[in-house]
Structure 1
Amino acid sequence: MTQQGVRWTADQVLALVPDAASRNASGELAAAGPWSEVGSSDEGTVWGLCKGSGSQPYQTVVDISDASGPAYECGCPSLKSPCKHVLGLLLLWADGDGVVPEAKAPDWAERCTAQLRERTREKRTANSSGPAAGIADPEAARRRAEQRAGRITAGATELEQRLTDLLRGGLAGAEQAGYELWEEMAARMVDAQAPGLASRVRELGAIPSSGSGWPVRLLEECALLHLLDQGWLRREHVPDGLAATVRSRVGLSASADGPPVRDRWLVLAQYDTADARLTTRRIWLYGARTERAVLLLSYGAAGRAPEPALPVGLALDAEVSAYPGAGQRRAALGGQFGPPAPTELRPTGMTTAEAAVRYGEALLDDPWLESVPVTLEQVVPVPDGADWQLADAGGDTALPLTPAAGHRPGLWRLVALSGGAPVKVFGECGHRGFTPLTAWPAGPGPAVALC
């Protein structure tokens, strides 16, 4: 869903889903049966009454007038955000078959919409004033930063000794020790206030006995972890950009202090990853003028969808500010000068060989980089034994898909979109292969989300 009367597709609505259970439940409510007094306005509001288990129906309102994403309210007792009633109403509206007509909002919907918009204004004011208010005592902040840096240094030093002991004893010992070895090491890094190191240690624990060639993979990851330790311990002797990358990789947060860059930003992709405690949303944007891809990261507690939610294939006139770090792609969304709107804009593309070179060059700035954003021009999805690859239509090179991408439903969307003809594909290119996220047909047509 977008503002200014442009409807979302069902896929764009489902991007808001907090978990699988909500996805299933919302599908049951995406029918006219349980709903009454439904309607929408060209000012960006959708509303309806949904029959529930109580004597009174649930009042459900969604406001889509703000470019940062939808705001919603429902009278049900669910703790999930958005709840199944919000999702069901949006799916019903996105269907576009006239079940949710344009109409004048009833009084209860107007009151709820006013409250939602006031809440959005308050949140924007708080976000704009928050960083300045957080530095009330610069000297105290400096002392806290020094204390934390000391703890991280102690943790990195201990981790170096643990890695040394592991390699001296042989990697076979890692398989025999089991996951407890790594979990205890990760806990020590948490105590050292280095969550980035803790996360990488936990990833090491999943490698032993993970299949053929696991000792080689474990050795590679241990080497990268050693490099990160040394980068921190010798951070005063590395270039400023790389030092900022090291601080980010060990888990020190930073603010987006780059100068605001205004552009017309195409929403390339949006997808969520989740664990038991946190949902992480990744949104890739592409600047029409700067021809640069930037990443928006946001987080939500388990059961709550992160914000913002930006439909793939639309463009917004906005400012973004980069985070510090050499080769850093992450940015923060700043001022917005209008709602997302349909566009025929497509990113510029490259060959598969050029994509591999781009990833190699990016590793110079960030050796721990898993992948880079890349748009492939004129590629065809072709099977490669049990796996798949994207082959250049006019050349003899190809990129293999990552194992996870080869088993996603999005692969079959891509194959169907191509039908053997070349297509343009945006995705993430790294040492494990290419993960397709969005594709465009050879001729005119909208972007197709693959994730």
Structure 2
Amino acid sequence: MTQQGVRWSADQVLALAPDTASRKAGSKLGAAGPWSETGSSAEGAVWGLCKGSGSRPYQTVVDLGDVSGPAYDCSCPSRKFPCKHALGLLLLWSGAEGAVPRGRQAPDWAEPWLAGRRRRAEEQRAAGPEGSASGSADPEAARRRAERRAERVTAGATELEQRLADLLRGGLASAEQAGYGLWEETAARMVDAQAPGLAARVRELGAIPSSGPGWPVRLLEECALLHLLDQGWLRRERLPAGLAATVRSRVGLPTTADGPPVRDRWLVLAQYDTGDAKLTTRRVWLHGAESHRTVLLLSYGAAGRAPELTLPVGLVLEAEVSAYPGAGRRRAALGERFAAPAPTALRPPGVTTAQAAARYGEALRADPWLDSVPVTLDRVIPAPDGDSWQLADADADSALPLTPAACSRPGLWRLVALSGGAPVKVFGECGHRGFTPLTAWPEGAGEAVRLC
């Protein structure tokens, strides 16, 4: 259950917000003014009545004690989860001591919802893992479907090889003249071949011509990586098992987590969303206190809607994770949880900037298409580097440049303010474009500061 004696920070609460607008609206409701009849229970429930524009206040309740993660219920008409009232209530609870009284009995309007959640949780635990398994009813039919899809992917990869050969035969300048339409047509062919990973890489190729100085070099590099992926698929039977699994994943074939469950106390290092017109992808990085493993959880939501999985940065949860197949085996599935996320003083161990660059180089041997690796830098100082920024080692003569995207984010200025010229610990992603900081901790004691 959530430790009621140790409150979350405001950053950890706001990390739950589905979007920027909800974050701003929730912040305005984080004071005592609009709230009445607030309370919290030893089981991790928080509730209150929030005055709105109507005659009746909104009834808001949050369950922080469920091991499956925070859950919310509010009588307001919002379709966002959590809504601004739930965020405001949690900000009030996380603020001054005594702002939300403790050890109370849930009111009549909140108790049925809380009781229903606990009843369903008990039923799921009683059913066990087998109760929720969704195995294939016909393994032979599944095998035949997989074979047919592999044949279509092979046909798509063969066609893509011919298109790459035509591009190089005609010269890279022809890519600029052809425009984006040719690449979109090729990507559509890869979608028809049921190879979404190849389609995504083809679309990235289409954005390179005329993208600025040096674009022919970048285009040739990406063509080489795409050719390597094509050849990896066409010769997958000759590859080591780990690399073959990586190729299947990069091409876009679905996989399931097959690694043995690893139980640990997992520190939430970072959480951020990326999206396009069809899908929102949430990435959550975890670090195991005992296993010393860093794993990635992925969850998805329809465009414009936040994925369900939410783990505020800086908290720790005791749970099992299972790795997906692949050479690096970074991606994992979250399994059984044994306690609700709770505040912690745990921090990940760090490395120097030179060690971080070497770690990325080593990872490329197992996965040549890898854009970045998760790294925690110890005792680095953000410093200007011409028109850009870098993270310089406080105790060594080395540094890592920040990616262009990181330099344009507001989180950079939070990092600079947190450092104030002093060393900080920074977790982020290190790749060929540079380092993207995601979370930072000040020297000595202090909470994690989210930068993304």
Q: Normalising to structure 2: TM-score of the pair?
A: 0.93
Partner residue in 1 for 2:247: 246
Could you tell me which amino acid in structure 2 is paired with residue 252 of structure 1? L
Unmatched 5+ stretches in structure 1:
none
SS in 1 for 2:404: coil
Alpha carbons 2:7, 2:343 under 8 Å: kept: no
1:217 counterpart = 2:189: no
Residues in 1 aligned to 2:206 and 2:422: alpha-carbon distance in whole angstroms: 42
Partner residue in 1 for 2:109: 108
Alpha carbons 1:381, 1:390 under 8 Å: kept: yes
Could you tell me which amino acid in structure 1 is paired with residue 443 of structure 2? A
Alpha carbons 2:69, 2:340 under 8 Å: kept: no
RMSD: 2.3
Partner residue in 2 for 1:296: 297
Residues in 2 aligned to 1:448 and 1:21: alpha-carbon distance in whole angstroms: 20
**Which deviates the most, 235-244 or 204-213?**
204-213
Partner residue in 1 for 2:415: 414
Could you tell me which amino acid in structure 2 is paired with residue 383 of structure 1? P
Partner residue in 2 for 1:60: 60
Change in CA separation of 1:25 and 1:439 when aligned onto 2, cut-off 3 Å: closer
Partner residue in 1 for 2:230: 229
Unmatched 5+ stretches in structure 2:
none
Residues in 2 aligned to 1:315 and 1:238: alpha-carbon distance in whole angstroms: 38
Partner residue in 2 for 1:93: 93
1:444 counterpart = 2:437: no
What is the CA distance between 1:5 and its match in structure 2?
A: 4.4
Aligned 1:30-429 pairs, distance under 5 A: 30-52=30-52, 54-96=54-96, 98-102=98-102, 103-120=104-121, 128-129=129-130, 132-429=133-430
What is the CA distance between 1:134 and its match in structure 2?
A: 2.8
Alpha carbons 1:40, 1:47 under 8 Å: kept: yes
What is the CA distance between 1:273 and its match in structure 2?
A: 1.7
Residues in 1 aligned to 2:162 and 2:123: alpha-carbon distance in whole angstroms: 49
Change in CA separation of 1:120 and 1:412 when aligned onto 2, cut-off 3 Å: farther
1:170-210 deviation digits (Å, cap 9, x = unpaired):
22222222222222211111111111111111112221221
Change in CA separation of 1:200 and 1:99 when aligned onto 2, cut-off 3 Å: same
Alpha carbons 1:68, 1:309 under 8 Å: kept: no
Could you tell me which amino acid in structure 2 is paired with residue 340 of structure 1? P
Could you tell me which amino acid in structure 2 is paired with residue 274 of structure 1? G
What is the CA distance between 1:130 and its match in structure 2?
A: 7.3
What is the CA distance between 1:427 and its match in structure 2?
A: 1.0
Change in CA separation of 1:416 and 1:289 when aligned onto 2, cut-off 3 Å: same
1:19-59 deviation digits (Å, cap 9, x = unpaired):
33333333343344443333222311122233445554332
Change in CA separation of 1:230 and 1:314 when aligned onto 2, cut-off 3 Å: same
Residues in 2 aligned to 1:408 and 1:384: alpha-carbon distance in whole angstroms: 16
Q: Percent identity?
A: 78
**Which deviates the most, 34-43 or 232-241?**
34-43
SS in 1 for 2:177: helix
Alpha carbons 1:72, 1:116 under 8 Å: kept: no
Change in CA separation of 1:54 and 1:132 when aligned onto 2, cut-off 3 Å: same
Change in CA separation of 1:180 and 1:85 when aligned onto 2, cut-off 3 Å: farther
What is the CA distance between 1:97 and its match in structure 2?
A: 6.0
Change in CA separation of 1:34 and 1:255 when aligned onto 2, cut-off 3 Å: same
What is the CA distance between 1:430 and its match in structure 2?
A: 0.2
Alpha carbons 2:62, 2:86 under 8 Å: kept: yes
Residues in 2 aligned to 1:338 and 1:348: alpha-carbon distance in whole angstroms: 24
Residues in 2 aligned to 1:6 and 1:189: alpha-carbon distance in whole angstroms: 51
**Which deviates the most, 356-365 or 83-92?**
83-92
Residues in 1 aligned to 2:280 and 2:198: alpha-carbon distance in whole angstroms: 20
Change in CA separation of 1:446 and 1:366 when aligned onto 2, cut-off 3 Å: same
**Which deviates the most, 266-275 or 215-224?**
266-275
Change in CA separation of 1:413 and 1:303 when aligned onto 2, cut-off 3 Å: same
Change in CA separation of 1:207 and 1:329 when aligned onto 2, cut-off 3 Å: same
Residues in 2 aligned to 1:391 and 1:428: alpha-carbon distance in whole angstroms: 16
Partner residue in 2 for 1:7: 7
SS in 2 for 1:133: coil
Could you tell me which amino acid in structure 2 is paired with residue 370 of structure 1? D
Residues in 1 aligned to 2:185 and 2:127: alpha-carbon distance in whole angstroms: 39
SS in 2 for 1:182: helix
SS in 1 for 2:258: coil
